Amino acid sequence: MNSLETAYIAGGCFWCTEAVFQRLNGVQQIVSGYMGGTVKNPAYREVCSGRTGHAEGVKVVFDPQIISYRTLLTVFFATHDPTTLNRQGSDVGTQYRSSVFYVNNEQKLIAEKLISELQKTTFENPIVTDLLAEMPFYNAEEEHYNYYNDHSEQSYCSFVISPKIKKLKQNYLHLLKNL
């Protein structure tokens, strides 16, 4: 039996991040939620106010025998803009910041190395992704789960998430589940 691992990441709206990672082979579970703030058990409206300190993020449970943590982070950095502080496109606020919350020293070292490599090879502007130790993760309300799959016709999904999925398919087809 393979043991599963967990990654916590925030890269803008959690609907976007969830939609990308749901499609990766080896990802067993995605949970949208809030992390990195000071308020216990925050609600969506509180997080959107920007006063809780939380980022919208996802908990990714994955099988490292199928997809590595480094590969998860590579996809993460390729499907959002880690060079914009507290924003992704028209989503603006600290809740949309780019963050990686590592669960152990190995994840921290992998993330540091990848960020350094990407800064030298891929991104012209400085990467502003926070690299932080794991903090309490609070599940989002159920209506946020599987959002893109259930609401892909909505304008936000069409204009913001669909291009990310298209880019994912163009660049990482070999990593995708047979959906």
Which sequence positions are flagged as catalytic? Answer: 13
Q: How far apart are CA 131 and CA 108, in angstroms?
A: 8
Crossing angle between the packed helical segments 14-22 and 69-78, to the nearest 10 degrees? 130
Q: How far apart are CA 115 and CA 70, in angstroms?
A: 10
The answer to whether 91 and 12 have CB atoms below 8 angstroms apart is yes
Q: What phi and psi values does residue 55 have, to the nearest 5 degrees?
A: -105, 150
Q: What phi and psi values does residue 33 have, to the nearest 5 degrees?
A: -175, -160
